[in-house]
Structure 1
Amino acid sequence: MRFGKKGKVSTTYVEPYKIMKRVGKVAYELELPAESAAVHSVFHISLLKKCVGDPASTVPLESMVVKNSLSYEDVPVEILDCQVRKLRNKKFASVKVLWRCQSIEGDT
């Protein structure tokens, strides 16, 4: 069973799952959701990746309003930097924006 799409755009890693127990020296049994019942729950260690949560990249859910379409509107707070760049004979503006639900490190 494949997760998601096939080919070049397929996802390499699916989600973080809890490790239930170690099976042998190089395999682990994972706690998979009910939708993945067709997938065997024991995986070789080379197929797993350590998931380390970064508290700076998490956004508190209380500050977001999620619509029924599972989308949200992010509001710009401040323009941090503005540059005009030249590419051959074209000029374009590059603006760095601080968004409402993100920290300074999350500006785009």
Structure 2
Amino acid sequence: MIAETTEQIKKIRDRMLTAQSYQKSYTDQRRKPLEFEEGDHAFLKLRKYTPDASHVLQPESVQLKEDLTLPVTPVRIDDTSVKKLRGKEVSLVKVAWSRAGVEEHTWELESEMQADYPHLFSRN
């Protein structure tokens, strides 16, 4: 019984090798050499990164308020818009905010912005 099992395993392995050989020859016939033209998006073979001390960025000091939030200041007004609601129109302004050197844009009520930050409107 063991001899029969080992014989069956040999046959299965031979068939698997034959199938792999057919698949390899089929793939090799269909494989084409890679050709790239200028402007094609292609990745080059990458190497493992070797760390370098000169590549390390030093963290910048960040000033936080007492409630641990970053100070946010409006930089400029980029756009204005009037939103029509059911019975009234609301004036909006698109404000560029600066938070720790990063700019974000939000739409705010023009009346609130004029009350809180009048210097942004004095230039317009």
Larger radius of gyration: 2
Structure 1-normalised TM-score?
Answer: 0.36
Could you say which structure has the greater relative contact order, defined with CA pairs below 8 angstroms and 6 or more residues apart?
Answer: 1
Structure 2-normalised TM-score?
Answer: 0.32
Q: Is the helix fraction higher in 1 or 2? A: 2
